[in-house]
Structure 1
Amino acid sequence: MNPTRRQLLASTGLGLAATATLPAHARLPVAGTKPNLFIGTGGTGHTYPGATLPFGMVQLSPDTGVERWETCSGYYKTDTSILGFSHTHLSGTGIGDMLDVLVVPSAGPVQLQPGTLENPDAGYRQRFSGEHAEPGYYRVALETGVQAELTVTERTGWHRYRFPAGKGHVLIDLSHLILDKSDSPPLVDEALLELAADGTLSGTRRVFRWAKGRRIFFAMQLSRKPDRITFIGDGDTEQPAGATRVAGKRLKAVLQFDDAGSAPLVIRCGISAVDADGARANLAAEAKHWDFDRVRREAAALWSKSLDSVKVEGGTADQRTILSSALYHAQLAPTLVSDVDGRYPGMDGKTQTVPAGGAAFSTYSLWDTYRSLHPLLTLVAPEQTKKLVDDMIRQTAQSRFGPLVWPLQGKETGTMIGWHGVVPLAEAHAKGIPADYAAAWPAIRKRSFDFTAPDKDNSLGRDLYDKLGYVPADKVFESVSRTQEYAYDDWASSHLARVAGATEDAERLHKRSGNWRNVIDGKIGFARPRFENGQWWKDYDPVQLGHMPKPWWRDYTEANGWQATFLNQHDIYGMIAHMGGDAAYEAKLDALFTAPSTLPDNAPPDISGLVGQYAHGNEPDQHAAYLYSYVGAPWKTQAMVRRLCVEMYKNDPDGIIGNDDCGQMSAWFVLSALGFYPVDPVEAVYVFGSPLFARAEMQLGKGRKLVVEAPGNRADTPYVAAVTWNGRPWRKSWISHRDLAAGGTLRFTMSATPNRAFGRALADRPPSFGRSPA
Structure 2
Amino acid sequence: MHRPSILRTLVCLVVLGSTASMLAAPPGPVDWVNPLIGTASGKIGYGGTMPFVTPPFGMTDWTPQTRQNKISVVSYNYDDKTISGFIGTHQPAIWMGDYGYVTLMPEIGDLKTTPDERKLPFTHADEIAHPDFYSVRMDAGGGKQIRSEMTATERCSYMRFTFPANTPSRILIEASRAGHAGSVHVDAANHEITGYNPDRMDAHLGPAALKNFKGYFVVQFRQAFQKANTYGMDDAQASHARGAYAGFAPSTGKQVIELRVGTSFISIEQARENLKKEIPEWNFEAVRQALRDKWQAKLDRIGLQGASDEERGTVYTAAYHALLYPRIFSEYGRYYSAFDDTVHQGESYTAYSIWDTFRAENSLLTLLAPERVDGMITALLQNYREGGWMPKWPNPGYTNIMIGTHADSLVAEAIRKGFHGFDRDLAWKAVYKDAMTPPDGDTTRRWADREPHTPYEARGGLTYYKELGYIPTDKTAEASSRTLEDSYDDWCVAQVAKALGKEKDYQFFLHRSLNDRHLYNPADGLMRGKTSDGKWAAADAGWTEGTAWVYTWAPLHDEAGILELMGGDAAYNAKLDQHFAGGHNVHSNEPSHHYGYLYDFSGEPWKTQAKVREIALAEYAGQPVGLDGDDDCGQMSAWYLFTAFGIYPVNPASGDYMIGSPMFSRMSLRLANGKQFTVIADHNSSANVYIQSATLNGKPLTKPVIRYEDIMAGSTLHFVMGPETSHWAANWRAQAIQ
With the length of structure 2 as denominator, give the TM-score of the two structures: 0.88
User: Offset of 1:69 from its aligned partner?
Assistant: 6.9
Structure 1 residue identity aligned to 2:168 = K
Report the number of matched residues: 678
Partner of 2:57: 55
User: Offset of 1:398 from its aligned partner?
Assistant: 2.7
User: Offset of 1:438 from its aligned partner?
Assistant: 1.8
Counterpart-to-counterpart distance in 2, 1:572 and 1:591: 17
Residues 277-310 of structure 1: per-residue CA shift (max 9 Å, x gap): 2212111211210101110111111111111121
Partner of 2:139: 143
User: Offset of 1:395 from its aligned partner?
Assistant: 2.6
Partner of 1:3: none
User: Offset of 1:726 from its aligned partner?
Assistant: 1.1
User: Offset of 1:665 from its aligned partner?
Assistant: 0.2
Partner of 1:385: 373
User: Offset of 1:31 from its aligned partner?
Assistant: 5.0
User: Aligned pair 1:558/2:557, yes or no?
Assistant: no
Given that residues 720 and 750 in structure 1 are in contact (C-alpha distance below 8 angstroms), is that contact kept between their aligned partners in structure 2? yes
User: Offset of 1:391 from its aligned partner?
Assistant: 2.5
User: Offset of 1:385 from its aligned partner?
Assistant: 2.2
Gaps of 5+ in 2: 1-26, 205-209, 442-454
User: Offset of 1:91 from its aligned partner?
Assistant: 4.5
Partner of 1:440: 427
Given that residues 192 and 248 in structure 1 are in contact (C-alpha distance below 8 angstroms), is that contact kept between their aligned partners in structure 2? no
Partner of 1:65: 67
Partner of 2:402: 416
User: Aligned pair 1:703/2:674, yes or no?
Assistant: yes
User: Aligned pair 1:171/2:172, yes or no?
Assistant: yes
Distance 1:349 1:520, change over 3 A: farther
Given that residues 645 and 662 in structure 2 are in contact (C-alpha distance below 8 angstroms), is that contact kept between their aligned partners in structure 1? yes
Given that residues 186 and 229 in structure 2 are in contact (C-alpha distance below 8 angstroms), is that contact kept between their aligned partners in structure 1? no
Given that residues 92 and 663 in structure 1 are in contact (C-alpha distance below 8 angstroms), is that contact kept between their aligned partners in structure 2? no
Structure 1 residue identity aligned to 2:121 = R
Structure 1 residue identity aligned to 2:35 = L
Given that residues 192 and 247 in structure 1 are in contact (C-alpha distance below 8 angstroms), is that contact kept between their aligned partners in structure 2? no
User: Offset of 1:458 from its aligned partner?
Assistant: 5.3
Pick from 305, 314, 336 the counterpart of residue 322 of structure 1. 314
* Secondary structure at 1:319 match in 2: helix
Given that residues 28 and 296 in structure 2 are in contact (C-alpha distance below 8 angstroms), is that contact kept between their aligned partners in structure 1? no
Given that residues 191 and 248 in structure 1 are in contact (C-alpha distance below 8 angstroms), is that contact kept between their aligned partners in structure 2? no
Given that residues 415 and 458 in structure 1 are in contact (C-alpha distance below 8 angstroms), is that contact kept between their aligned partners in structure 2? no
Counterpart-to-counterpart distance in 2, 1:412 and 1:422: 16
Counterpart-to-counterpart distance in 1, 2:350 and 2:288: 24
* Secondary structure at 2:190 match in 1: coil
Residues 73-115 of structure 1: per-residue CA shift (max 9 Å, x gap): 3110010111100111434443332471100111232112111
Given that residues 404 and 422 in structure 1 are in contact (C-alpha distance below 8 angstroms), is that contact kept between their aligned partners in structure 2? no
Residues 362-394 of structure 1: per-residue CA shift (max 9 Å, x gap): 111111111111111111221122332333333
Distance 1:234 1:531, change over 3 A: farther
Partner of 1:277: 269
Residues 405-429 of structure 1: per-residue CA shift (max 9 Å, x gap): 01123x1112111111111110111
Distance 1:369 1:767, change over 3 A: farther
User: Offset of 1:255 from its aligned partner?
Assistant: 1.2
Gaps of 5+ in 1: 1-28, 116-122, 177-184, 238-245, 541-545, 548-554, 596-611
Matches within 5 A, 1:709-724: 709-724=680-695
Partner of 1:125: 119
Counterpart-to-counterpart distance in 1, 2:200 and 2:62: 21
Partner of 2:4: none
User: Aligned pair 1:625/2:596, yes or no?
Assistant: yes
With the length of structure 1 as denominator, give the TM-score of the two structures: 0.84
Structure 1 residue identity aligned to 2:322 = A
* Secondary structure at 2:115 match in 1: coil
Partner of 2:194: 202
Partner of 1:606: none
Counterpart-to-counterpart distance in 1, 2:176 and 2:70: 17
Residues 469-500 of structure 1: per-residue CA shift (max 9 Å, x gap): 11111111111111111111111112223344
Q: Percent of pairs identical after alignment?
A: 33
Given that residues 731 and 759 in structure 1 are in contact (C-alpha distance below 8 angstroms), is that contact kept between their aligned partners in structure 2? yes
User: Aligned pair 1:677/2:668, yes or no?
Assistant: no
Given that residues 337 and 360 in structure 1 are in contact (C-alpha distance below 8 angstroms), is that contact kept between their aligned partners in structure 2? yes
Distance 1:530 1:729, change over 3 A: same
User: Aligned pair 1:255/2:246, yes or no?
Assistant: yes
Given that residues 62 and 87 in structure 2 are in contact (C-alpha distance below 8 angstroms), is that contact kept between their aligned partners in structure 1? yes
* Secondary structure at 1:297 match in 2: helix
Counterpart-to-counterpart distance in 1, 2:256 and 2:626: 36
Residues 24-45 of structure 1: per-residue CA shift (max 9 Å, x gap): xxxxx98576111110011221
Counterpart-to-counterpart distance in 1, 2:158 and 2:734: 49
User: Offset of 1:732 from its aligned partner?
Assistant: 1.3
Counterpart-to-counterpart distance in 2, 1:278 and 1:500: 40
Partner of 1:111: 112
Partner of 2:358: 370
Counterpart-to-counterpart distance in 2, 1:56 and 1:443: 27
Matches within 5 A, 1:142-541: 142-144=138-140, 145-165=145-165, 166-176=167-177, 186=179, 188=180, 190-196=181-187, 198-211=190-203, 213=210, 214-233=213-232, 250-259=241-250, 263-345=255-337, 347-354=339-346, 359-400=347-388, 402-409=389-396, 411-435=397-421, 436-451=423-438, 453=440, 455-457=455-457, 459-538=459-538, 540=539
* Secondary structure at 2:703 match in 1: coil
Partner of 1:6: none
Residues 127-164 of structure 1: per-residue CA shift (max 9 Å, x gap): 11311111111000111121100000111111111111
Distance 1:704 1:87, change over 3 A: same
Counterpart-to-counterpart distance in 2, 1:113 and 1:532: 54
Matches within 5 A, 1:615-654: 615-654=586-625
Given that residues 46 and 91 in structure 1 are in contact (C-alpha distance below 8 angstroms), is that contact kept between their aligned partners in structure 2? no
Partner of 2:6: none
* Secondary structure at 1:731 match in 2: coil
Structure 1 residue identity aligned to 2:162 = R
Distance 1:45 1:288, change over 3 A: same
Counterpart-to-counterpart distance in 1, 2:169 and 2:560: 68
Given that residues 50 and 150 in structure 1 are in contact (C-alpha distance below 8 angstroms), is that contact kept between their aligned partners in structure 2? no
Given that residues 315 and 714 in structure 1 are in contact (C-alpha distance below 8 angstroms), is that contact kept between their aligned partners in structure 2? no
Partner of 1:182: none
Counterpart-to-counterpart distance in 2, 1:45 and 1:624: 20
Structure 1 residue identity aligned to 2:293 = A
Counterpart-to-counterpart distance in 1, 2:234 and 2:484: 50
Given that residues 709 and 748 in structure 1 are in contact (C-alpha distance below 8 angstroms), is that contact kept between their aligned partners in structure 2? yes
User: Offset of 1:506 from its aligned partner?
Assistant: 3.0
User: Offset of 1:650 from its aligned partner?
Assistant: 1.2
User: Offset of 1:768 from its aligned partner?
Assistant: 6.2
